[in-house]
Chain A
Amino acid sequence: MDSVIKNFQAIVGRDNVLSEPDELLVYECDGLPQHKHRPRAVIFPRSTEEVSEVMRMLARERIPFSPRGAGTGLSGGALALGEGVVIELARMRRLLKLDAENRLAVVETGIVNSHVSRAAAPLNLHYVPDPSSQPTCTIGGNLAENSGGIHCLKYGVTVDHVMAARVVLSGGEVVDLEETGTGLPGYDLLGVFIGSEGTFGIATEATLRLVPLPQSVRTLLADFTDVMDASRAVSEIIAAGIVPAALEMMDGAIIRAIESTTFSAGIPQDAEAALLLELDGLEAGLGEEAERAEAILRKHGARAVRRAKDEAERKRLWAARKGAFGVMGRISPDTMIQDAVVPRSRLPEILAASYRIGTKYGLRVANVFHAGDGNLHPFICFDSRHPDEVLRVKEAGRELMETCVRAGGSITGEHGVGLDKSDYLPLIFNADDMDAMLRVRAAFDPTGLCNPGKIIPTLRGCGEAQTRRRGEKERSRLVLSPCPRVSASPRLFFPASPRLSSASARPSSNIESSSSKSNLDAMRRTLCGIAGEENVNNEVEPSLVVSPSSADEACEVLKFAALEGLTVMPAGAMSWPYAGNPLRRCDIIISARRMNRIIEHEPADLIAVAEAGARLSDLNERLNGSGQWLALDPPGDANETVGGVAATGLAGALSVGYGSPRNHVIGMRVALADGRVIKSGGRVVKNVAGYDLCKLFIGSYGTLGLILELAFKLRPRPARTATVILSAEQAALWQCSRSILAAHLLPVAFEIVSENLAQSFGVEAEANSRALLVRFAGNEEAVSYQTMKVRELAGRERIFSVVETDDEKLWRMIAAMPMKDKQHLVWRVKVRLTDLRAFIDEAMKKEALFSNARWHACVADGRLRVASTETNEVEAAIASLTRLRNTAKKLGGALVIEQAPTEIKNAVDAWGALGAKAELMRRIKAELDPKNILSPGRF
């Protein structure tokens, strides 16, 4: 032991290691002191290099470790079990970079959450996620827990605001993970890493998205004499299409506790419930929205609706709300805090149940929660000095949790599972679900040393389970060993790989099991047996296309394929079957087009559940009736299925306002390669139970599983949209786009398009000019204010502008641009916003091949998509693409070929080198699809 400590000291210095048992005492618990485990040592690294070196040594010595930030977590996540050490990041708290133009901050993860916003405030920007522990908690802890906070109702949680992270894996490898939804290639490893509670590795640096501080804010405090009235008001506000920035509820017990402290905010003490509602955005239109909200509050029995008159009063109201956890110390010597999420519409009954359970066990229950998200924090009061009460509180907690799960909820919305709730996990996930999670965990952490004993119950203190896992891993490695790595050229093994796109050229010799005609017939017979004869065809020679009508049928097909060693490509409407690298083999295509039911839509919950084969346009038509929609416009021709949208993970122009598919999917059911069906996420908008495997399947292009069913977070349909079209020569337009951005308006789409594309949808553009399209959505006042503002800015630069109020068709055409012809060359690039212009100039001017290409680029986030028709000059295209890819790479971005004639695809990798990510992707693929059945060779 002593020598181990000495080794730590050699790496980080004597002052940065605590090893005296007495000094380790305070590290035995985090924000939830019920659980105590004293670590063997606490190490304070000061750089990524030191973290890496420490972890290398830990792996060598086989010592488990747990990362820790400020120790404010509420699930026992930062406790080191089994003689482990704590890696404490509190001494890595530098702000490395603040970039106003690209709206990002690069930080060391030990930095305190609120310090980021404080630093960005002079730039009129802020970092949105604001958990109650914001003044103290670290960004690293936020990443581990995927923290929410008060404003996540409108703006999303941590995963929606982190653009990249530098992660050290057990064993010391350093990997840079990036957000993929906006166009970067590869699995969304960042998405699944966030919320992994320190069991995948340690994030040491993070790039955070900053957003403009809202121009205006209205904070309303309504008090009620009945808690049920308040919760009904919540449901109606949401169903009425108002998206508050925050919507919080406190019950009578909490109100009275808060009012007795320094956090007192003047809430009437005889109230039984108070709602704190915040609306933010542009001043224009906000007043109207506040009035609508107030009317609903009064309709449901609010006694008084108070509006914060200034920033000081607003701060006081929020401080009162955020202090609620600590304030509990005044109500009771000990409290158990729960973190359940239920569909919003079930709030009234769950609240009633919580008080009923309290009465049943003779314990006081107080509720303070994020009502807008349906995220409850019931506090159950007890006194740990009475053992009997301790037993009862545990019983009550469990019963409450079971009630929430029965109502369609989840066991944790933001606190994480950690050590505390791992026993609850089986309430919502079955053995297969958890097995899939364990596999992904093993891919990230093959050593099993990363924060062991957390999240998944089987691992708790059980060496046997870990050994079993390792044994399985070894076996799966053996099976996979002949498989080429993702990053290496996949064509090494099948040099004359056939392309799906040229149906005639496929030599059957590459197919072992179905090489002969008789095998093909046998295959067809089986598939017909499963899905019915009319649902099996060979529209894409030589593969058989099967369209099952249900998840069960689809799984049958998968099981059959697994048994026979056949390869399978999952597909939707088959809009993008040729994405990525050419498949090495494809025996069966499973199309989800017949699995197109819309299963559920609950307007008050703002969620919808649909089968993967449902078309996005059909879903939206259905949602339209209740004034809601799934705010996505991925590249496509209106035939795309929701499953396909998720599998590609691609964002369209609307991502500026609403995000990409990864921000909208809250749950899914997926068939794995062996035909087992697993579930991830759920049907609630906020959920951190287990790993968020949804993120992994989104953008995996059918290489990890077959998506069967998806649950989406919806948005209220805006009352109005309008697009301002500006046309001028490009220097002026770029200039203007910057002043529009600087005006901190809230466009939902913001694209610059090439002259020929502009002409194709009827925008008159002079020669050598471009068009800039700015789309706004919202209520009448907000939209007309913003369009007017943009026209004013354009006028100042003498740029011609028009407003298109019926703009749906225009944006559809942009989305359909890459879909025109499957022989076209379509590629996309993602670079930093500030590099976009230079890149476009280089691509369009220097590369003659693309001088006439149609393209559109997002001037709010640096996405570019180019489609060209002149694809016969293969050699020139290959050379151009390679040059441009290098340029993109140098700028820290990437170039992805979405569609290309086969000669080009054979010569240039569709994704480009994926760097250190490739190995992780390969490990994940090997864990989830060990026989490499699903879309082999796509990455």
Chain B
Amino acid sequence: MTSTSQLGSLLAAEEDKLLACVHCGLCLEACPTYVATGDENDSPRGRIYLMRAVEEGRLERTSRTFERHLNRCLGCRACEMACPAGVQYGQLLEAGRAELFRTKERRGWTNRTLRFVLRHVWLHPKRLRMAFGFARILRDMGIVRLLIKSRVPRMISGRAEFALALLESSSSDKLTKSVGAQQSVKATRREAHDVRQSKALLFTGCVTEGLFARVNRATRRVLEVNGCKVNAPEEQVCCGALHAHAGDLEGARHLARRNIVAFDNDEEIAIVTNAGGCGAMFLSYEHLLADDPEFSERARKFSARVRDIGQQLETTGVRASSALVDEKLTTYDTSCHLLYGQRAADASLKLMLSVPDIRFVPLVGSEVCCGGAGVYNLLETELSSRVLDEKLNHVEETKAETIATGNPGCHMQIGAGLLLKEKKVRVCHPVELLDESYERAGFYEKPK
């Protein structure tokens, strides 16, 4: 099948599968961009209408409206949950964006840059590691912080400042003593009798490993404490979510095939993710490679093995630990892809609440996107910040000092927002909190 008719055939398939949009509008208020603008063009119903119009030839494929409003979609897929007709909006969006990706005309420099980076950095693990290494140096030497404080980036553009804030917000929290990088699980704890022994393959993820290696270490330790032998295949690459969301389906497929091969050693072993974006992407490999005769079946099996760390711990059970040192008021923001894509948000929150005596306060609008959405915050900075402001207001209402979320994109987005507003709230992954409580319970030891 040529990708020319991808959108058309998908729309037709939706109709045949009887999963077609009936135009009822129940998705409108679920959509953060519609809530922010009140413009039907920025709603799921409106975007589907535009896609249909393109297919029916009532709207030019090159229409600026089509491009603008498809690009303004966060891709959070909250509309899918609200949709009574079961429209698979995420798939339609990707097909729509693929349509745009092929169109060469009228593309601004941001899109050109994005395209270049996705093609020439992200598809090459070595270059990608170098890029993240460079970013870490800037971050850990305090250069980024200095730059933000100097207000020079703000003078250049809000976007430049926000980009730096995103990077800075990924650094580990100085206020909290997190578990040291070198600590490992005591052997006695690892082989405790009361936990079932199991195995897991850890997906480390490009951004997580590049900027949040501590989350991967925490994930490993927590899994081990709960009797899970963890292995992270060497050959794994980026999940391809950024490519898929940008409409570069070929790039996404390339990465998908490589990951399938990398994790192909044992069909029984769960693939554990700790980033909602990656997890949701893994689940969509099945759909992404449905037309690839060689990989379609393998993709289906691959997708079936994917679990978020929260879901994995539900299968192993969570060992009791002890309370955190400082009982900070803690809230939880649901990553959209964890919720709407992976449908694993409950498990993720449950993981966090398994920390004894945690002082939890629910976040109003937790199920609403924070506006991060991959690189959306750098492409549609203005709309993104409006969506983020809403989120930050709700965070402030909770008076929480810690906010946990299960996706690095959300982590950086909320962190950057808090940083620029000079709010002292710690952002972390829920598994980090459990990890800290395990450390306090004496499950870990420093290497001799």
* Chain A residues within 8 Å of B, Cβ to Cβ: 18, 20, 22-23, 25-27, 29, 31-33, 44, 70-72, 88, 90-91, 93, 110, 112, 114, 133, 135-137, 261-263, 323-333, 335
- Contacts A23-B41, A329-B87, A331-B18 given: A31-B65 contact, CB under 8 Å? no
Contact B29 A326 (CB under 8 A): no
Residue from the list A27, A93, A323, A329 in contact with B20, Cβ < 8 A = A329
- Contacts A22-B63, A29-B23, A329-B21 given: A136-B29 contact, CB under 8 Å? yes
Contact A27 B26 (CB under 8 A): no
A522 to B124, CA, bound (A): 107
Contact A261 B86 (CB under 8 A): yes
Contact B22 A329 (CB under 8 A): yes
Instruction: State which of B77-85, B139-147, B204-212, B348-356 sits at the interface with chain A.
Output: B77-85
* Chain B residues within 8 Å of A, Cβ to Cβ: 15, 18-30, 38-41, 45-46, 49-50, 53, 58-60, 63-66, 81-87
Contact B85 A133 (CB under 8 A): no
Contact B28 A323 (CB under 8 A): no
Q: Quick one: closest B residue to A320, CB to CB? A: B84
26 residue pairs A–B, Cβ–Cβ below 8 Å: A18-B39, A20-B64, A20-B65, A22-B64, A25-B58, A26-B41, A29-B23, A31-B23, A31-B25, A90-B39, A91-B38, A112-B29, A133-B24, A133-B25, A136-B25, A136-B26, A136-B27, A261-B84, A327-B84, A327-B85, A328-B22, A329-B22, A329-B87, A332-B18, A333-B20, A335-B22
Closest 4 A/B residue pairs (Cβ): A326-B84, A329-B85, A90-B38, A22-B65
A29 to B29, CA, bound (A): 18
Closest CB in chain B relative to A552 CB, distance in Å: 49
Contact B50 A136 (CB under 8 A): no
A91 to B40, CA, bound (A): 12
Closest CB in chain B relative to A817 CB, distance in Å: 50
Q: Quick one: closest A residue to B31, CB to CB? A: A136
> What residues of chain B lie closer than 8 Å to A29, measured between beta carbons?
23
Q: Quick one: closest B residue to A88, CB to CB? A: B38
> What residues of chain A lie closer than 8 Å to B38, measured between beta carbons?
44, 88, 90-91, 93, 110
Q: Quick one: closest B residue to A68, CB to CB? A: B40
> What residues of chain B lie closer than 8 Å to A335, measured between beta carbons?
22
Closest CB in chain B relative to A163 CB, distance in Å: 25
Closest CB in chain A relative to B252 CB, distance in Å: 26
> What residues of chain A lie closer than 8 Å to B24, measured between beta carbons?
31, 72, 133, 325-326
A328 to B81, CA, bound (A): 16
- Interface Cβ pair total, 8 Å cutoff: 105
Interface of A is mostly: loop
> What residues of chain B lie closer than 8 Å to A331, measured between beta carbons?
18
A325 to B41, CA, bound (A): 22
Q: Quick one: closest A residue to B27, CB to CB? A: A136
A23 to B21, CA, bound (A): 19
Closest CB in chain A relative to B55 CB, distance in Å: 13
Q: Quick one: closest A residue to B38, CB to CB? A: A90
Contact A70 B22 (CB under 8 A): no
A328 to B22, CA, bound (A): 8
- Contacts A22-B66, A90-B38 given: A329-B26 contact, CB under 8 Å? no
Contact B85 A71 (CB under 8 A): no
> What residues of chain B lie closer than 8 Å to A263, measured between beta carbons?
84
Closest CB in chain A relative to B1 CB, distance in Å: 21
Contact B25 A70 (CB under 8 A): yes
A52 to B65, CA, bound (A): 29
Residue of B20, B39, B50, B83 with most partner-chain A CB within 10 A: B39
Contact A72 B18 (CB under 8 A): no
Q: Can you name 17 extra interface pairs (CB under 8 A) apart from A22-B60, A133-B25, A136-B29?
A: A22-B59, A22-B65, A31-B25, A32-B23, A70-B25, A71-B40, A72-B25, A90-B39, A135-B26, A136-B28, A137-B25, A325-B22, A325-B24, A326-B83, A327-B85, A329-B84, A335-B22
> What residues of chain A lie closer than 8 Å to B26, measured between beta carbons?
72, 133, 135-136, 323, 326
> What residues of chain A lie closer than 8 Å to B45, measured between beta carbons?
26
> What residues of chain B lie closer than 8 Å to A25, measured between beta carbons?
49-50, 53, 58-59, 65
> What residues of chain B lie closer than 8 Å to A18, measured between beta carbons?
39, 41
> What residues of chain B lie closer than 8 Å to A323, measured between beta carbons?
26, 84
> What residues of chain B lie closer than 8 Å to A23, measured between beta carbons?
41, 65
A72 to B64, CA, bound (A): 26
Closest CB in chain A relative to B396 CB, distance in Å: 18
Contact B59 A262 (CB under 8 A): no
Q: Quick one: closest B residue to A331, CB to CB? A: B18
Contact B40 A26 (CB under 8 A): yes
> What residues of chain B lie closer than 8 Å to A332, measured between beta carbons?
18
Contact A329 B86 (CB under 8 A): yes
Contact A26 B46 (CB under 8 A): yes
- Contacts A25-B53, A323-B84 given: A329-B25 contact, CB under 8 Å? no
Contact A27 B40 (CB under 8 A): yes
A744 to B21, CA, bound (A): 43
A848 to B307, CA, bound (A): 81
A135 to B24, CA, bound (A): 11
> What residues of chain A lie closer than 8 Å to B60, measured between beta carbons?
22
A44 to B20, CA, bound (A): 29
Contact B18 A26 (CB under 8 A): no
Residue from the list B28, B29, B39, B81 in contact with A262, Cβ < 8 A = B81
A112 to B35, CA, bound (A): 10
A33 to B46, CA, bound (A): 12
Residue from the list A72, A88, A91, A325 in contact with B84, Cβ < 8 A = A325
Residue of B29, B30, B83, B87 with most partner-chain A CB within 10 A: B29
Closest CB in chain B relative to A24 CB, distance in Å: 9
Residue of A22, A44, A133 with most partner-chain B CB within 10 A: A22
A326 to B26, CA, bound (A): 8
> What residues of chain B lie closer than 8 Å to A20, measured between beta carbons?
64-65
Closest CB in chain B relative to A706 CB, distance in Å: 44
A135 to B83, CA, bound (A): 12
A326 to B28, CA, bound (A): 13
Contact B86 A26 (CB under 8 A): no
A326 to B87, CA, bound (A): 10
Q: Quick one: closest A residue to B34, CB to CB? A: A90
Closest CB in chain A relative to B22 CB, distance in Å: 4
A23 to B49, CA, bound (A): 11
